[in-house]
Amino acid sequence: METLLARLPESGAFLGIMLAALLGGLSRGFSGFGAALVFVPLASAAVGPRAAVPVLALLECVSCLVFLPNAWRHAQRREVAVMAGGAVCAVPIGTLILAHSDPVALRWGLTGLVLLAVAVLASGWRYRGRGSAPLTLGVGAAGGLMSGTAMLGGVPPAVWWLGRSAPAVIVRANMNLYFAILTAAVTAALAWRGLIGWDSAWLALAAGPTYALALWGGTRLFGLASERTFRRAGYALILGAAVLGMPLWDPLTGR
């Protein structure tokens, strides 16, 4: 037991992981996406992106199984399959970037991407054209690249589906089914790159109960929310996490 406890980070970093798991799980359970948008910036501020990304991948392996039955019933399965196919092909490129990148530069980059995504979503932008297989495949490839790099694969699909004015129940189901496919690919790629080890597995196990409770709470909140509340709550969580995850705060966290 002492050996296992020794694998956990210091108390401040561990509390940061727990906070990231709580807020990330709430966002994921409520909207079907946003776990990485919330978890990765916050957890990266505590333990760095190379530790945070594998932990979330392991947590998501379990949550995807929980959400899969409902997602299968309500999702636009053909479109999700095309998008997920593009994402899976691009994941290895993203993991290569993660393995050879500067941690601080990567954190600034993914914070910028999160802020850009929030700005696009909150602007009220809607895509008025017709969807096509090549366009859907391209959105998926962008998601796969961002997922392998920082588990931010939900950004392009979320912008795409929310931008097409899809009902909340469809957006949530699409995202859950998409993540079930993508998470399997990302976890395999991270393991192949040697980025998943006993330390990340133990940290994911420690954060698991908090994440599971937050998923349950987010799911309950979704049933009470209107379409407008669904979108606004997601934007607020994502924006707050991006700001708090900036390397700017490192002197306060001791990193």
pTM: 0.74
Quote the pLDDT of residue 171.
Answer: 86
**Residue 81, domain extent:** 10-253
Are 194 and 96 within 8 A, CB to CB?
A: no
Sign for the pseudo-dihedral over CA of 163, 88, 79, 216: negative
- Per-residue pLDDT of the chain in tens (255 residues, 90 and over written 9): 444 444 555 666 778 889 999 998 988 888 887 787 788 878 887 887 778 889 999 998 888 888 899 999 999 999 999 999 999 899 888 888 878 888 778 778 877 877 887 787 777 777 766 778 899 999 999 888 887 776 677 778 887 887 777 788 898 899 899 988 888 888 888 888 888 888 888 889 989 999 999 999 999 888 887 878 877 876 776 677 677 667 776 665 455
Flag whether 121 is in a domain.
yes
Write down the pLDDT at residue 121: 73
C-alpha 113/C-alpha 155 separation (Å) is 8
Which pLDDT score is estimated for 114? 77
- Whether 237 is covered by a domain: the verdict is yes
Question: Is 29 among the domain residues?
Answer: yes
Q: How many domains does the chain have?
A: 1
Residue 138's pLDDT is 93
Tokens 């993660």 — which residue?
98
Q: Is residue 60 part of a domain?
A: yes
Is residue 151 situated within a structural domain?
Answer: yes
Kindly list the distances between the CA atom of residue 247 and the CA atoms of 14, 72, 101, 109, 136, in Å, as whole numbers in the listed order. 17, 39, 15, 11, 33
In-domain check, residue 5 = no
DSSP assignment letter at 9: P
Q: Domain for residue 4, yes or no?
A: no
Is position 1 within any domain?
A: no
